[in-house]
Structure 1
C-alpha cells in the first residue's frame, strides 16, 4: 500500500466529509413523494386525454340519436294506414263495433271500409250501400261517412242512417237523434239536419231535398223489419229484392200507380206478394238460380207483372 503523507490524508478525509454532507442534505423522502406526484399527474393527464377521446367518439352518435328522437317526438312519422272492410251479404244484416266503439248496422249488399286506427283529428269511413250508425260522442274528432258519389255526412256523436246504394238514383240521410251535417259533392254546400228529417240527394240532377219522415220506417230494417209508408211498388220491390237476395223484375203493364202502407217481419216473399196482390192485379213467376260456366249461380229471379 502506497504511503500517504498526513496532508494528503487530511484532504481526502475532508473531501469524503463534504460528500457525506451533500448526501445528507438530499431529502430522499420528499423527492420520493415529489416523484410520485409527478407520476400521478402524468397518469391523470393520460386518463383525461383518453376519456376526452372516447367522449368525442361517443358524443357524436349520442348527439345524432338525440336529434333523431327529438325530430320524431315533434314530427310523428306518417305510417302506412291499415284498413278493414266489412261486407254484409245480400239478405243479411251485420252488427259490429268500430275502433272508437261506435256501433254500426250494415244492411244487405253493403260494404263499409274504415282504418283500423282512427286519426287524432277525425274518424273517416267509406260506405257503399246502407248503414245505421250510433256514433260515440267526441267533440274533438268529427265522424265522417263518405259515399262513392262524393257526398259526405259528418257528426260528432249521434244516431243516423245513410243509404247510398250504387244502383239507386238517390242518396238518403235520415237523422234519428242529435245533429248531422251533410256535405254535397261540390264541397261548398252544407245542410244541417235535425231529428226526424231526411235529406235526399239526386245523383243526376245534383239537387238536395229535405223532408220530414217517419224515422222508424227508415231504420227498422236493422231489426229485421220491413216497414212501408205510402211506398210505391217500385220502391217495395227494390227493398224486397235486397232483403230476400233475389232479383225481382217488375213490369207495370197497366201504367197504374199504387201506394202501400204495411209492416212485415217474418213473412216469406210469397206471403208478401199475396198481400200486395189483394189490392192490385199482380201475377208473378219464379225462375230458379242457374249454374253458370264459372260454377257460380245466378240469383233466383221473380218476374212480377201488373195488369
Structure 2
C-alpha cells in the first residue's frame, strides 16, 4: 500500500465517518413504507382504470344495441312509409305517362294505374285496373311487377307488353311485343311468354290459355286506332263502348256469331256501325243522354239488334 501522511489518513477517516453518519440518519423503515405506498398507488390506479374500461365496455354494449335498434326502426319505418300516386284515363281517352324510373305507360279508356312515387330498391311494383301498354326500362336488379285485382301478376326486367284487366271482362289478357314476360296466375302458376304470344286467364275457371296473336291488333289502341282481327261482334262492341264513352246494348236475336277484320282511326261511331251493318242483318239506334236527379247525365246509349 502506498505510504500516506497522517493528515491524509485523518481526512479520509473524517470523510468515511461523515458517510456513516449520513447513512445512519436515513429512516429505512419509513423509506420502505413510502416505496410500498407508491407501488400500491400505481397498482390501484391500474385497477381503477381497468374497472372503468370494463364498465365503459358494459355500458357501450346496450348503447350500441339501442342505437342499432333505433336505426333499424328509423330506416325500416322510412322504407315502409311509401307514398302512392294514381293516374286515370277517363272513358273515351288514351293517355301516355312516364313513371319514376323512366318507364313509359299508355293507359286505355277507363283505366287506373296506382304506383309508388319512389320505387323500392329491390322491385318496381304497380297496380292496374283496366288496360295498359308498358315500355319498361331495363333493370336486372329490380323486376317490374304489374299486379291486377284478381291476383294475377306480370313481371319483367325490361320489355314491351300489354295487359288488359278490366274488371267487367271475363278474361285477363297479357300480350308480349318484345323481350320476355313472366305471368304469375292467382294459383301461383308461372307462365313465360315470348314475343307474339298472348296469355288469356279465365277468371271463372281459373285456367290459362297461351296463343299466337297479331300483336299490332292488340296494341294499336295506344295510337288511337281500333284494329279488329277476326274479332267477334260482342268484343267489338265492348271496345267501342270504351273508345267512345257510350253504353251499347247488343241483342243477338239470331244467335249467330259474326267476326270482323277491320281498322278504324278517325271514323265516328255511326260510321263504324254502318260499316258493320253492311255484312250482317243488323239495325241500331241511339238513345240520347238523360238528365238525372243529381243534374248529371247518363251515357249515350246505342241499341243494336242482330237478326
Same fold per superposition (TM over 0.5): yes
> SS of 1:270's equivalent?
helix
Per-residue deviation, 1:71: 5.1
The aligned counterpart of 2:269 is 269
User: Aligned equivalents of 2:92 and 2:268: distance in 1?
Assistant: 12
The aligned counterpart of 2:126 is 125
User: Aligned equivalents of 1:296 and 1:202: distance in 2?
Assistant: 35
The aligned counterpart of 1:93 is 94
- Structure 1: give runs of 5+ residues left out of the alignment: 1-59
Per-residue deviation, 1:77: 2.5
The aligned counterpart of 1:300 is 300
The 10-residue stretch of structure 1 (293-302 or 203-212) with the greater mean CA deviation from structure 2: 293-302
Question: Is 1:207 aligned to 2:213, yes or no?
Answer: no
> SS of 2:161's equivalent?
strand
User: Aligned equivalents of 1:293 and 1:119: distance in 2?
Assistant: 46
Per-residue deviation, 1:186: 1.3
Residue-pair matches, total: 247
1:71-99: per-residue Cα shift (whole Å, max 9, x none)?
56666232421100011001100101001
The 10-residue stretch of structure 1 (75-84 or 174-183) with the greater mean CA deviation from structure 2: 75-84
Report the TM-score when normalising by structure 1: 0.77
The aligned counterpart of 2:194 is 194
* C-alpha RMSD over aligned residues: 1.9
The aligned counterpart of 1:136 is 137
The aligned counterpart of 2:44 is none
The aligned counterpart of 1:217 is 217
Report the TM-score when normalising by structure 2: 0.77
> SS of 1:77's equivalent?
helix
Per-residue deviation, 1:296: 1.6
User: Aligned equivalents of 2:124 and 2:103: distance in 1?
Assistant: 10
User: Aligned equivalents of 2:147 and 2:121: distance in 1?
Assistant: 18
User: Aligned equivalents of 1:167 and 1:183: distance in 2?
Assistant: 21
The aligned counterpart of 1:29 is none
Per-residue deviation, 1:297: 1.3
The aligned counterpart of 2:158 is 157
- Structure 2: give runs of 5+ residues left out of the alignment: 1-58
The aligned counterpart of 2:76 is 77
